Amino acid sequence: MGKRWLKERKREYYYRKAKKMDYRSRASFKLMQIDDKFKVLPRGGAVADLGAAPGGWLQVAKERVGPNGKVVGVDLQRIEPLKGVVTLQGDILREETVESLQEILGGKADTVISDMSPNISGSYSTDHARSVELCSHALDFARKTLRTGGSLVMKIFEGDMMGDFLTEVRKSFSMVKLHSPKASRSRSSEIYIIAKGFRGEPDTGAAKAADEE
């Protein structure tokens, strides 16, 4: 990272605000703005945060669900401890990590949130495809973990595969919208999928029968 990049980052409004308010990441404000608009973090609810390091979203989730809520986070990197939050170091793409996370939750989640991003390769089409893949894993986890009526929030890079992926998300949720919070950088290609009203896993058998008719 160059000195110029670091200088620009330090001047950035949300970066300075996060430092001042003791949030671990400027991304904290993205989740705040999403929740202010869509009410995805219910008081007393259970939240699973995928790709949670360094913990900015965990901080916001815990504040919003309150002392009676449960917040669990997982990441490939170690997450520094946060009061009232349970963290797990592991790969959400591996089944054993999924099972461990569900065991820690101890039941169904009200909300699954994912700010996961691929390692940037420099090839936009590659990065977009990897982003869709990560979102597919988040969707799979949500289908296994959410209670009926639950919510899913996940970051995706815009691109030509997004339309088909949104169609897949709509199979399980009654409301699906795209949203770009003000805290996102203006030059960023990221956008957030907000899915509410979880209906359960899609009936693949019925879908297959319909395709064969």
Active-site residues, by number, are 155
Q: Which two tokens stand for residue 164?
A: 């088909």
Q: Which two tokens stand for residue 26?
A: 């400027």
Q: Which two tokens stand for residue 117?
A: 């991003």
CA–CA separation, 8 vs 168, rounded Å?
Answer: 38
Q: Three-state SS string across the chain, please?
A: CCHHHHHHHHHCHHHHHHHHHCCCCCCHHHHHHHHHHHCCCCCCCEEEEECCCCCHHHHHHHHHHCCCCEEEEEECCCCCCCCCEEEEECCCCCHHHHHHHHHHHCCCEEEEEECCCCCCCCCHHHHHHHHHHHHHHHHHHHHHHEEEEEEEEEEEECCCCHHHHHHHHHCCEEEEEEECCCCCCCCCCEEEEEEEEECCCCCHHHHHHHHHC
